[in-house]
Amino acid sequence: MPKLTQGELTQLGTSFETQSPDQLLRWAYDAFGSRVAVLSAMQKAGSVVCHMVSQLQLPIPVVFVDTGVNFQETLDTRDRMASQYGLKVITLTPEQTMEDQTKELGILYLTPEGQQRCCHFRKTMPLLKARGQFDCLIGSLRRSEGGRRDRVPILSVDPEMNCVRLNVIANMPNEDLASYIDEHQVIINPLHAQGYTTIGCNRCTTPVLPEEPPRAGRWRHLGQWSQYCGINPTDRDGGTSKSIDLPRDVIDRILLGPKGDFMI
């Protein structure tokens, strides 16, 4: 199987820096067709991407990982967006309930190492059930989030899923995100209005005070040692993964870049 390298994607991603999210979403559908999906945890930025897909009337499904310990508000947001935006939402779940996992392994998320195992069991492994179904997953990581995401690439390879990751709002600043939400009245997880700047599982997510960094509410009990779940490969390796295997015709469509007025 031919390989698509991170170097090739980095070069193409540089040319995408001036493209709008709408242009990148249209390119993704043109390049990948039925083998592209949005990956959303039903947080603010992911809701914006879902709204954009709906506005463009692109038949791109949304993949959501239900860890079994999500906030009810998160599940309600998923259902509202599916209904009001006309989106097909594919919900993936872990093999074990949290109760069964705890009976077998104890409360994993009490240590940094255990937190990584717990997130792997409840987030990454469910997503891996979809490996082979998609050649591209559209995410909503943004450089304005800071931390490990301050240089997140628009395009990267995901070796575990053997697909391309496309962050269509990577270079969208916080103020532009807020303006888009206000202008379009985007459906937003109500927990954001209660001080939750980022939202994960109900066991490991707390509100954040105004003077705290945005991710201070994730695994607060573990301090500085845990801030990411690992479901996004660039959070783990900073975009240094090497390559993935895709059919030659798919690679050719990717490397040709956008069509028409956006040809590179």
184 Cβ contact partners less than 8 Å away, ≥ 6 residues apart: 51, 55
Say how far apart CA 224 and CA 1 lie, in whole Å.
41
Say how far apart CA 217 and CA 209 lie, in whole Å.
9
Say how far apart CA 118 and CA 108 lie, in whole Å.
6
**Active-site residue, from 136, 163, 201, 229:** 229
The DSSP element (H or E) to which 45 belongs, if any, is helix 44-56
Q: How many CA atoms lie within 13 A of 79 on its CB side?
A: 7
Taking the CA atoms of 117, 198, 54 and 24 in sequence, report the sign of the dihedral they define: negative
Q: Among this protein's residues, is 229 annotated catalytic?
A: yes
User: Residue 120 — left, alpha, or beta (φ > 0 → left; ψ -120 to 50 → alpha)?
Assistant: alpha
Give the CA distances from residue 34 to residues 4, 37, 136, in Å, rounded to whole numbers and listed in that order. 19, 8, 10
Catalytic residues: 229
